[in-house]
Amino acid sequence: MLALCKTEPVEGGGVAVRDWEPRDAGPGEIRLKVGAAGICGTDMQIFNWAPRMARRMKLPRVLGHEVSGIVDQVGEGVTNVALGDHVSLESHIFCGTCRPCRLGNAHLCNNTTYPGIDIDGAFADYITVPALIAWKNPKDLPHETGAMLEPFGIGVHACLEGSGVSGQTVLINGCGPIGLMAVAVARALGASRVIAADLNPLRLKTAEIMGADRAIKADDENVADVVRDMTGGEGADVGIEFSGSEPGFQAVFDSLCKGGDFRLVGAPPKAIPVDFTWWLLKCPRMVNIHGRRIWDTWQRSTELVYSGAVDLKPIQSHILPLSEAAEGFELIRRGEAVKPLIVPEG
């Protein structure tokens, strides 16, 4: 089979499509025939060989962890899925026995590993993973949509935590795929106003399609000024930060109303200085969003998608055959793609 691998520990590249032997499902494992797989920010970090996660990888490694496929092998002892089932994968391989897992926080498992980083991933004809990360979908769900359920879950998680979004003004700062998904979730869950901010015109246009009342080009307009303008000077009830940038962090803080919710999703690459006096005076609540609750968020997310309350189609900007998968990384790097999906030819 073919597989897109990180082959060299270099910044901005070192990825190539190679011949690769699929692995049989061992005890507790399933093998999927991949239907579609999405390229995400983490894959871009690996492409760029960012210090945090990428550098623990053993190369060559098949990339990709956002995937939908059909179960074509079931290992010994697997009972949660069967041959022929259509499934999406949770990307956090959790242990189920550590303290966070036992407390119902499997998304914060002490022993988390990931397909596409610690084991071979989804940019291939087949992927073999522990069955415990499989989520069964109806067979009429397109694989392109199924492959986006993992990132979509982060957007849903971000909208459900803290004070939620219902009846509130919600600022989404950073309109990458997950920010854009959060725009649609906030709309579907009854936010009174959804305001989106980004620098990239393609993303801002997509934010409007996903249901934003206003899309702010953050290098042309001051985000906090626009938000205050739209809220009678009060500010947003909820600010969700997806950009991971210092100006983004500051813009969300400045845009919040007193006592509002600051929800942090985007991981800043380096420490950001915070003026805690201002933080104290404004009294926002800080809520950190890491991954998805397993399986609470999946249950809520799939109810939104299966029912049609959220349509993820506008997010899938490119469908590429596996042999051209590397082009997807270049499209993202050039700011020309929202979510490229890779579809094996076979």
Site for Zn ion in 221-260 (CB under 5 A): none
Specify burial of residue 186 (Cβ count, 10 A radius: 0-12, 13-18, 19+).
buried
Shortest separation between residue 223's beta carbon and Zn ion, angstroms: 25
Minimum distance, C-beta of residue 109 to Zn ion, in the bound complex (Å): 3
x-or-dash string of contact with Zn ion, 49-88, rule CB under 5 A:
-----------------x----------------------
| Residue 206 CA: distances (Å) to CA of 187, 198, 203, 265 | 14, 11, 5, 20
Residues in the chain: 346
Which of 2/40 has CB closer to Zn ion?
40
Give the separation between CA 220 and CA 223, rounded to whole angstroms. Answer: 9
Pick the closest to residue 296 from 179, 108, 160 (CA basis): 160
How far apart are CB 59 and Zn ion at their closest, in Å?
Answer: 19
Beta-carbon contacts of residue 221 (< 8 Å; ≥ 6 apart): none
Phi, psi angles (nearest 5°) of residue 210: -80, -5
User: Could you give the residue ranges of the DSSP H alpha helices within the chain?
Assistant: 41-47, 99-102, 143-146, 149-160, 177-188, 201-209, 223-230, 246-255, 276-282, 296-306, 325-333
Q: Lay out the site mask for Zn ion across 91-120 (x = CB under 5 A, - = otherwise).
A: ---xx--x--x-------x-----------
Q: Which is nearer to Zn ion, 98 or 226 (CB)?
A: 98
Contacts of 56 (CB under 8 A, 6+ apart): 117, 118
Min dist CB 99 to Zn ion, Å, is 8
DSSP-derived letter for residue 119 is B
3, 30, 40, 159: residue in contact with Zn ion (rule CB under 5 A): 40
Q: Could you give the CA distance from residue 45 to residue 52 in angstroms, rounded to a whole number? A: 9
By C-beta, is 101 or 132 nearer to Zn ion? 101
Taking the complex as a whole, the smallest distance from the CB of residue 97 to Zn ion amounts, in Å, to: 6
Closest distance between Zn ion and the C-beta of residue 91, in Å?
Answer: 6
How many angstroms from the chain centroid is the CA of residue 240? 14
Q: Is 189 in the site for Zn ion (CB under 5 A)?
A: no
Q: At closest approach, how far in Å is the CB of 332 from Zn ion?
A: 12
Site string for Zn ion, 313-332 (x = CB under 5 A): --------------------
Measuring CA to CA, how many Å separate 321 from each of 4, 37, 242, 338? 11, 10, 29, 17
Cβ 339 to Zn ion shortest distance, Å: 10
Q: Please, which residue, 175 or 224, has the CB nearer to Zn ion? A: 175
**How many residues sit in the footprint of Zn ion (CB under 5 A)?**
8
47 vs 253, beta carbon nearer Zn ion: 47
Could you tell me the two tokens for 9? 């520990």
Mark the segment that binds Zn ion (CB under 5 A) among 37-45, 165-173, 244-252, 338-346.
Answer: 37-45
- List residues near Zn ion by CB under 5 A: 40, 42, 66, 94-95, 98, 101, 109
